Amino acid sequence: MRIWFALLVTPILALADQSVALATVRWACANQHVLAIHAIHATFLVVTIVATLGAAWVLIGTARTRNADAYSARRHFVTALATASGAFSTLVIAALWYPTWVIAPCFA
């Protein structure tokens, strides 16, 4: 389950992070509360980090048996792919969070 969550859900979380944060900008501008946008990004970032670490933990476990048979090799490959997907999604969320630190929500 940890593999599939990191492989399939973390990219969706990166897209959801952008959508939810952009939907909150109007409220943050009207009330002058940027903390809400930071909380959204932080929540999504923590979830993707936890998912990536879970996949990485499975990757470490599959490294010992990756050459045993074809099933183990496939499992190790999918686990490595899930870890990479989670890491990339985490990087995307961090990159989306950066403009919130630099630009005020009412800038536009």
Number of domain units in the chain: 1
Looking at the domain assignment, is residue 37 inside a domain? yes
Which range marks the domain in which residue 72 is found?
Answer: 2-102
Q: Is 14 exposed, middle or buried (0-12, 13-18, 19+ CB in 10 A)?
A: buried
Looking at the domain assignment, is residue 68 inside a domain? yes
Looking at the domain assignment, is residue 107 inside a domain? no
105/108 Cα distance (integer angstroms)? 8
Report helix, strand or coil for 34: coil
pLDDT tens across the length of the chain (108 residues):
779 999 999 999 999 999 999 999 889 888 888 899 999 999 999 999 999 999 999 999 888 877 778 888 898 999 999 999 999 999 999 999 999 888 877 875
- Judge whether 51 and 9 are in contact, CB under 8 Å: yes
77: DSSP letter = H
Looking at the domain assignment, is residue 15 inside a domain? yes
Structure confidence at residue 89 (pLDDT): 97
Structure confidence at residue 65 (pLDDT): 79
Angle between helices 35-63 and 10-31 (to 10 degrees): 170
Looking at the domain assignment, is residue 93 inside a domain? yes
pTM of the model: 0.89
Looking at the domain assignment, is residue 108 inside a domain? no
